[in-house]
Chain A
Amino acid sequence: RKEVEQDPGPFNVPEGATVAFNCTYSNSASQSFFWYRQDCRKEPKLLMSVYSSGNEDGRFTAQLNRASQYISLLIRDSKLSDSATYLCVVNVRGYSTLTFGKGTMLLVSP
């Protein structure tokens, strides 16, 4: 089983759609959780951290379920500029390394 698994993509959605990404992780010692965004041939950029209580940043909402070892990212009112690969990332506290999923590509069309 891979340490971090994400929905296979790509997701093709029209502008204005709501899209959800799912991610599961295998290491129960994981303590920090993130979503990164990566544009084509660019470096990953932190989109948002994910907290147990869930958190929202504008059109983006992240949820964490520790019991199920499941993380999600919801994007509302998709924009063309949201087209990118979304990477689910976990960090095992004390080891200070990031474990990435393979990423899910999102394509938003006019």
Chain B
Amino acid sequence: ETGVTQSPTHLIKTRGQQVTLRCSSQSGHNTVSWYQQALGQGPQFIFQYYREEENGRGNFPPRFSGLQFPNYSSELNVNALELDDSALYLCASSMGLESSTDTQYFGPGTRLTVL
């Protein structure tokens, strides 16, 4: 086990609603990255937080937002949900720029279904 936890495990929402997903990073890690994995695709980078600051963002609209807390846990918020937001949302923790290899360890994911 990686020590990275995510909640909830599964979630069903309807179009237009808002959702908050949570991630607790592995002990000693200060960086959390969020990824979206649609069915049959590889994970796609949403954004990353390093020591509570956003440290890079992928090609996702502003309705995807996030936070990192002083204990390095993190939230992903998605507003105005669309059907295409249905996916597995993964968070990964790492030592970020403080690591020579920046190996990232993934949580079990939250499976979001938008109806």
Which A residues have a C-beta under 8 Å from some C-beta of B?
A: 4, 32, 34, 41-46, 49, 87, 91, 94-103
**In the complex the two chains form, is B106's CB within 8 Å of A102's CB?**
no
Q: CA–CA, A4 to B44, complex, Å?
A: 12
**In the complex the two chains form, is B50's CB within 8 Å of A96's CB?**
yes
Q: Decide yes or no: A96 and B103 within 8 Å by CB, A42-B108, A44-B43, A103-B42 being known contacts.
A: no
**Contact residues in B for A94 (Cβ distance below 8 Å):** 97
Q: CA–CA, A49 to B12, complex, Å?
A: 36
Q: Decide yes or no: A98 and B56 within 8 Å by CB, A46-B105, A87-B42, A91-B102 being known contacts.
A: no
**In the complex the two chains form, is B33's CB within 8 Å of A97's CB?**
yes
**In the complex the two chains form, is A43's CB within 8 Å of B90's CB?**
yes
Chain A contact residues: helix, strand, loop or mixed = strand
**In the complex the two chains form, is B101's CB within 8 Å of A49's CB?**
yes
**In the complex the two chains form, is A96's CB within 8 Å of B55's CB?**
yes
A32-B101, A43-B106, A103-B42 given. 5 additional CB < 8 A pairs? A46-B103, A94-B97, A96-B56, A97-B45, A97-B56
Q: CA–CA, A91 to B44, complex, Å?
A: 13
**Contact residues in A for B40 (Cβ distance below 8 Å):** 102
Q: Which of B90-104 contact A (CB under 8 A)?
A: 90, 92, 94, 96-97, 101-104
Residue of B whose beta carbon sits closest to that of A49: B101
**In the complex the two chains form, is B42's CB within 8 Å of A43's CB?**
no
Q: CA–CA, A45 to B104, complex, Å?
A: 9
**Contact residues in B for A41 (Cβ distance below 8 Å):** 88, 111
Q: Decide yes or no: A98 and B33 within 8 Å by CB, A32-B101, A44-B43, A87-B42 being known contacts.
A: yes
**Contact residues in A for B58 (Cβ distance below 8 Å):** 97
Q: CA–CA, A32 to B48, complex, Å?
A: 17
